[in-house]
Amino acid sequence: QVQLVESGGGLVKPGGSLRLSCTVSGVTFSDYYMTWIRQAPGKGLEWVSYITGSGRTIYYADSVKGRFTISRDNAKNSLYLQMNSLRVEDTAVYFCARSLNYNNWFDPWGQGTLVTVSS
Amino acid sequence: DIQMTQSPSSVSASVGDRVTITCRASQGISSWLAWYQQKPGKAPKLLIYAASRLQSGVPSRFSGSGSGTDFTLTISSLQPEDFATYYCQRADSFPLTFGGGTKVEIK
């Protein structure tokens, strides 16, 4: 049974930084492409970033490019999202999710971790 | 970027009703489309991928159709556990984008 567990969310001031983690169990982590998707309070889903199994190919949404960095440590079965220069509009629940069959649809997802950017 | 537009934004229906949700892409995406279900306070769950393929474990009352720019998610007989918000997502290339969501509410 695949399980994804996010951590690292919290309250941070505008301009601050935060690092999210997603620990994956139940599968060979390095085989899977992974993604981060966020959801602002009461809003819809917004894709954030994507990384292949080796980490060699990475994509970002324009809204976070240059501020966020996705990475992974396959030895630790972990996915990361380093978030710098945070803005109020980055406030959201951040979900990690696994790519299904190396395509760009995702299952399963973690439970999410809340990031609040506020002064 | 390709935009995904869902309609309606909300629908009121009764148990046993047939419910249809549509998703339109601003450009053709072939069959590169997924549908998700999200219940309040929970993570989304993949229902349909490749426009019409049912994800393992998803009840057969859910079905998807369409290709190119126009897609449909159908719930053939609405069950109490189906009241939720549904999202479509383009999956052909980056940036990936989601539709705005359709909330299925109890009538």
Any chain B CB within 8 A of the CB of A95? yes
Please answer yes or no on whether B43 and A111 come within 8 Å at the CB atom.
yes
- For the stretch B57-77, pLDDT in tens is 999 999 999 999 999 999 999
B62-67: strand order across its sheet? B4-7, B19-25, B70-75, B62-67
Within chain B, which residues score under 50 in pLDDT? none
Picking from A61, A62, A110, the nearest residue to B43 by CB comes out as: A110
Q: How high is the pLDDT of residue A101?
A: 85
Q: Are A34 and A108 in contact (CB under 8 A)?
A: no
Nearest-by-Cβ selection for A103 from B42, B91, B98:
B91
Burial code of B68-85, b = ≥16 C-beta within 10 A, e = fewer?
Answer: eeebbbebeebeeebebb
Residue B95, pLDDT score = 96
CA distance B76 to chain A (A): 23
Q: Going residue by residue through chain A (119 aa), what tens digit of pLDDT does each one get? A: 899 999 999 999 999 999 999 999 998 999 999 999 999 999 999 999 999 999 999 999 999 999 999 999 999 999 999 999 999 999 999 999 999 988 999 999 999 999 999 99
> What confidence score (pLDDT) does residue B65 get?
98
DSSP A30-96: GG--EEEEEE-TTS-EEEEEEE-TTS--EEE-TTTTTTEEEEEEGGGTEEEEEE-S--GGG-EEEEE
Instruction: Show which of residues 46-75 on chain A sit within 8 Å of chain B, judged by CB atoms.
Output: 46-47, 50, 59, 61-62
